[in-house]
Amino acid sequence: MWRFYGRRFLANRLALAGASVLLFLGLAAVGAPVLSRTDPNQQRLTERLMPPSVHHLLGTDDLGRDVAARMLHGGRVSLRVGLVAVGISVIIGTWVGVTAGFFGGWVDGLLMRVVDIMLCFPTLFLILMVIAFLDPSLWTVMTVIGMTSWPGLARLVRGETLSLRERDFVWAARGLGLSAPRIVLVHLLPNLVVPILVSATLGVGSAILTESALSFLGLGVQPPMASWGNILTSGKDYLHVAWWLSVFPGVAILVTVLALNLLGEGLRDVLDPRS
């Protein structure tokens, strides 16, 4: 089956392009300490707002810091935020969705009403409201994004679980006297991997966009730590004289989110048995 899925994935050009871009960005983020020529926080006021050149490939910012070094280290932060936030979201959303779909009845009604209440609030407004009472740090941003982005996944997992729990293999497991946790872990979760994986891939891009928006508003990753969002923020006041401060982080965010969406759509086409 792995060979079959591998051939289908390699035949999907858009998914392969998305995966290649993400692999390149991941390697660049991991190798940031080696690839960056200078310390991303080192200030050189005599070299402030220099355009891209041989010495500074992506130019410098208003404090003379090398934008290329900050982009590399900022990529590590932005990708970490996306992965950790989606990890938290997947854990909560999967647990809520499986519990509601498998047990049904009042458990389903109670959990789905909680999901409905969460979906009533605009996500960004809810995140801003929570962060307003907390210290805006990297871990705060990752935790808050993860704990506010799970309702959509919970509804998806619940729908799949409602369908799976009526299948013959689940009734056979019940007839053999298997406990509910064993049925969920052994028989349901393996069949939920595909929709969860696709949703998680798309969710990473959404989390990166949310972090960028929060950093742009000054409530995300705090300086001097670099992220693509706060690099973009630092360039808004110098857009007419230093276009590179806004263009390069904006392009990085665009390319990353586009690659994640292409990969997610490709995985959906490759792993969906109905295709």
pLDDT tens-digit series, residues 49-104: 888 888 888 888 888 888 888 888 888 888 888 889 999 999 999 999 999 988 88
Q: What is the mean pLDDT of the chain?
A: 84
Q: How many residues does the chain have?
A: 275
pLDDT in tens, 184-227: 888 888 888 888 888 888 888 888 888 888 877 777 777 778 88
pLDDT digits (tens, 9 = 90+) for 121-180: 777 777 777 777 777 778 888 888 888 888 989 999 999 898 888 888 888 888 888 888
Residue 235 has pLDDT above 90, yes or no: no
Q: What is the pLDDT of residues 72-81, one digit of tens each?
A: 888 888 888 8
Query: What confidence tier does 265 reach under pLDDT thresholds 50, 70, 90?
Result: confident
- Please say if the pLDDT value at position 275 is more than 70: no
Q: May I ask the CATH architecture of the domain 2-40+57-271?
A: Orthogonal Bundle (1.10)
Give the pLDDT of residue 56: 81
Give pLDDT, residue 273.
61
CB distance 144 to 131 below 8 Å: yes
pLDDT of residue 59: 83
Instruction: Give the model's pLDDT for residue 97.
Output: 92
Instruction: Read off the pTM.
Output: 0.83
Asked if the model's pLDDT at residue 18 lies above 80, the reply is yes
